Amino acid sequence: MPRTTARRQRVTTARVHRVIPPPSSPELDRITTWSFYFLAGTLVSALALLLIIAVLG
């Protein structure tokens, strides 16, 4: 059982390293900036929704 888990983990790590570009590349900076703005926008949207629900409720 532990052997299967280790193998799966190794495969996942290899896949992640293949998808993510190496650090200090412009592509990685672009992805980081985009994900940061996406998370910030999601947070603001959720807070606005809660505020609207609180006001209407």
Task: Name the DSSP letter for residue 1.
Answer: -
Beta-carbon contacts of 31 under 8 Å, excluding residues fewer than 6 positions away, are: 21
pLDDT (tens, 9 = 90+) of the chain, 57 residues, equals 555 555 555 555 555 555 555 666 777 788 888 999 999 999 999 999 999 999 997
Domain residue spans of the chain: 25-57
The 8 Å CB, 24+ separation contacts for 4-7 are none
Phi–psi pair at 23, nearest 5 degrees: -60, 165
pTM: 0.44
